[in-house]
């Protein structure tokens, strides 16, 4: 799924979503962009273990799939920010469910230890 | 994330969940196991494009992380089934949100076409 081109088909909604959001970073980036638009350097600070190259690559994919938009303010020095689109914002309930699941999972692990 | 050993840390719940469920197949397998336990051959029929090797490998990972349990009925000829554990069942709201998101996303794509 990683470097293949983005396929969006109707065959199965779970696949649509894993193809859009799959990989290690996209959900983390979307989550950081939820409250406000950010420059790449700010994102890098919030997700320290992502490489600059990977960050730019993942942002590009998110823009291509319409979840994020790149804004160039045309200022000097250049100012570029990434923001969620309206459909990008709709990922938040999914992220909330991922969080809920992780909390449940970790509780269960502790019970069984 | 793929072939590394499963790390479950508390540092970020989104990462916990992507590490548990990441990759192309795990969510599809879990979804198929939701209504009932299944033999590997039945799973293969429901997910035709997974290779047998990958199916067994992903089932093993799901067992290792406690989301799925392997049941050997001790019969001759051998009968082995995979079932969701109680925590495995708790992934269903997440899958439902993935479905909702895919439907919203495809609607949005059509509007903008």
Query: Which residues in B have their CB inside 8 Å of a CB on A?
Result: 1, 8, 10, 12-18, 20, 22-24, 27-28, 31, 66, 86-87, 90-91, 93-95, 97-106, 108-109, 112
Q: Structural domain of residue A58, as residue ranges?
A: 13-111
Longest C-alpha distance within chain A, in Å?
Answer: 58
Any domain includes B106: yes
Mean pLDDT of A28-43: 94
Task: Give the gap in angstroms from C-alpha A31 to the nearest C-alpha of chain B.
Answer: 9
Q: How far is Cα B27 from Cα A18, in angstroms, rounded to an integer?
A: 9
pLDDT tens sequence across A11-22: 688 888 888 898
pTM comes to 0.80
Collect all residues of chain B within an 8 Å Cβ-Cβ radius of residue A15: 28
pLDDT for A10 beyond 60: no
Nearest to A102 by CA among B58, B65, B107: B65
pLDDT tens sequence across A59-90: 999 999 999 999 998 888 889 999 999 999 99
Any domain includes A8: no
Any domain includes B1: no
pLDDT tens sequence across B83-92: 999 999 999 9
Nearest to A92 by CA among A67, A110, A60, A56: A67
**3 state DSSP class of B84:** strand
Q: Which residues pair with A71 in a beta bridge?
A: A81
Structure-token match 């490998």, residue found: B57
Mean pLDDT of A30-48: 93
Mean pLDDT of A41-54: 93
Task: Give the gap in angstroms from C-alpha B77 to the nearest C-alpha of chain A.
Answer: 33
CB pairs under 8 A between A and B: 109
Most A-contacting residue of B3, B33, B87, B103 (CB-CB within 10 A), to test interface: B87
Any domain includes A84: yes
Structure-token match 């397998």, residue found: B29
- At B111, the pLDDT band (50, 70, 90 cuts) reads low
**What CATH number is given to the structural domain containing A57?**
1.10.10.10
Percentage of chain B beyond pLDDT 70 is 88
pLDDT tens sequence across B32-61: 999 999 999 999 999 988 999 999 999 999
What is the predicted pLDDT for the residue at B112? 63
Q: Which two tokens stand for residue A38?
A: 């950010």
Any domain includes A49: yes
Any domain includes A6: no
The total number of structural domains that make up chain B: 1
């Amino acid at each position: 799924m990683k470097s293949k081109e983005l396929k969006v088909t109707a065959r199965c909604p779970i696949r649509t979503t894993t193809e859009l959001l799959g990989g290690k970073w996209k959900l983390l980036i979307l989550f950081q962009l939820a409250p406000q638009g950010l420059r790449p350097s700010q994102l890098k600070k919030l997700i320290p273990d992502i490489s600059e190259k990977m960050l730019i690559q993942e942002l590009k994919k998110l823009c291509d799939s319409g979840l994020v938009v790149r804004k160039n303010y045309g200022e000097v020095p250049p100012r570029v920010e990434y923001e969620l689109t309206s459909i990008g914002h709709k990922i938040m309930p999914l992220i909330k469910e991922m969080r809920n699941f992780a909390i449940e999972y970790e509780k269960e692990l502790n019970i069984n230890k």
